[in-house]
């Protein structure tokens, strides 16, 4: 098979298959109450993303959107391990991370619709979700750019001695960006309380990450170059993610320095709503769908003795909340002229221009 990108035939790619479900993780020392929270959060992220997709098809979502369908376990597992005052930094695929930190469901959906009752009064949209009061410090459209900003937040917390940490999520494509290497180097040199999490969903937009990367694991295999532990976790197993997240966030919080985690997962849809994702081998897609994190977690809870009825109740309650959020979002007004020149400078106004 040729490695010349100009001659590469995607149809010839070997399917990259997920690791088999690890039932030993049933035995992890995680209370059932916490596991039910993780299940509810994954349900919330999944049902929200499906509703966002439906609204996009109705031409109600402003601009494009990048969904996390199939990747919910990463956001849920890390959110469970974080403290309320910690900082989250995400990419343009940030709906799940914003909701996982506790941002209002209706206000987030309204933001996607470009309404004044959105978290940013409709001016940020899908790709720039931010909710500072929930520690969600922004979704960033420039690949890798937020990694250095996460360092800044971690450094500020370190200087204040207030105990917060920063957790920065990025895609596999960012591992070939200069800011990835610069941010890791500085985080180690300054021993910053920051955790970098690569959501490796195998594709950098439309290009397979293995086609243009010199190492098999684009984040974990680079860790040693910065004196960091190589950490790979099954990003489709929320319990496995949670256990790793507790360890690395706890270490960062106690002064043990930064960490780099590669969570191996898969997006079940295309890169964005404009992408049908036809470049992926069918066998690969079907294999990963069988390792969908939510049915797998559902089955785990049943094995642990949780009644099916309890899980159904959670699903139904989440569905009700998503329906209510949809009505709230649709009822929002379009942003007026009074919003136009706000939030354009540090003081929230536009007087600096004069």
Residue numbers of the domain that contains 221: 31-327
In a domain, 96, yes or no: yes
In a domain, 284, yes or no: yes
CA angle 207, 232, 158 (to 5 degrees): 105
pLDDT for 353 equals 58
pLDDT for 343 equals 77
CATH number of the domain that residue 249 is part of: 3.40.50.970
In a domain, 223, yes or no: yes
In a domain, 354, yes or no: no
3-class DSSP string for 284-311: HHHHHHHCCHHHHHHHHHHHCCCCHHHH
In a domain, 335, yes or no: no
Number of domains in the chain: 1
In a domain, 255, yes or no: yes
In a domain, 185, yes or no: yes
Q: What is the pLDDT along the chain (354 residues), one digit of tens a residue?
A: 445 544 556 556 678 889 888 999 999 999 999 999 999 999 999 999 999 999 999 999 988 899 999 999 999 999 999 999 999 999 999 999 999 999 999 999 999 999 999 999 999 999 999 999 999 999 999 999 999 999 999 999 999 999 999 999 999 999 999 999 999 999 999 999 999 999 999 999 999 999 999 999 999 999 999 999 999 999 999 999 999 999 999 999 999 999 999 999 999 999 998 888 888 999 999 999 999 999 999 999 999 999 999 999 999 999 999 999 999 999 999 998 888 778 777 666 666 555
What values do phi and psi take at 316, rounded to 5? -70, -40
In a domain, 1, yes or no: no
């Amino acid at each position: 098979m040729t490695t010349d990108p100009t001659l590469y035939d995607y149809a010839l790619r070997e399917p990259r298959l997920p690791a088999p479900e690890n039932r030993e993780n049933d035995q992890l020392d995680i209370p059932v109450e916490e596991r039910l929270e993780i299940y509810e959060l994954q349900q919330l992220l999944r049902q929200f993303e499906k509703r966002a997709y439906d609204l996009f098809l109705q031409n109600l979502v402003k601009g494009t959107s990048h969904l996390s369908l199939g990747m919910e376990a990463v956001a849920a597992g890390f959110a469970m391990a974080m403290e309320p005052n910690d900082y989250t930094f995400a990419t343009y695929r940030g709906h799940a991370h914003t909701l996982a930190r506790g941002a209002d469901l209706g206000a987030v959906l309204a933001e996607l619709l470009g309404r004044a009752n959105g978290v940013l009064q409709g001016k940020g949209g899908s790709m720039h979700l931010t909710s500072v009061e929930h520690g969600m410090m922004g979704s960033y459209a420039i690949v890798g750019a937020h990694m250095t900003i996460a360092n800044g937040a971690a450094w500020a917390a370190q200087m204040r001695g207030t105990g917060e940490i920063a957790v920065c999520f990025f895609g596999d494509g960012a591992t070939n960006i200069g800011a990835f290497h610069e941010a890791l180097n500085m985080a180690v040199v300054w021993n910053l309380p920051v955790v970098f999490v690569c959501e490796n969903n195998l594709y950098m937009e439309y290009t397979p990450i293995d086609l243009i990367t010199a190492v098999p694991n684009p984040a974990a295999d680079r860790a040693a170059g910065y004196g960091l532990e190589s950490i790979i976790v099954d990003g489709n197993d929320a319990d496995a993610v949670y256990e790793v997240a507790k360890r690395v966030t706890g270490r960062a919080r106690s002064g043990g320095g930064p960490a780099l985690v590669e969570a191996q997962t898969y997006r079940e849809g295309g890169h964005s709503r404009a992408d049908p994702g036809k470049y992926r081998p069918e066998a690969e897609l079907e294999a990963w769908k069988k390792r969908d994190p939510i049915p797998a977690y559902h089955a785990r809870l049943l094995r642990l003795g949780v009644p099916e009825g309890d899980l159904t109740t959670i699903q139904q309650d989440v569905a009700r909340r998503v329906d209510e959020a949809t009505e709230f979002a649709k009822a929002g007004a379009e942003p007026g002229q009074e919003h136009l020149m706000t939030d354009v400078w540090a003081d929230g106004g536009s007087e600096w221009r004069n």
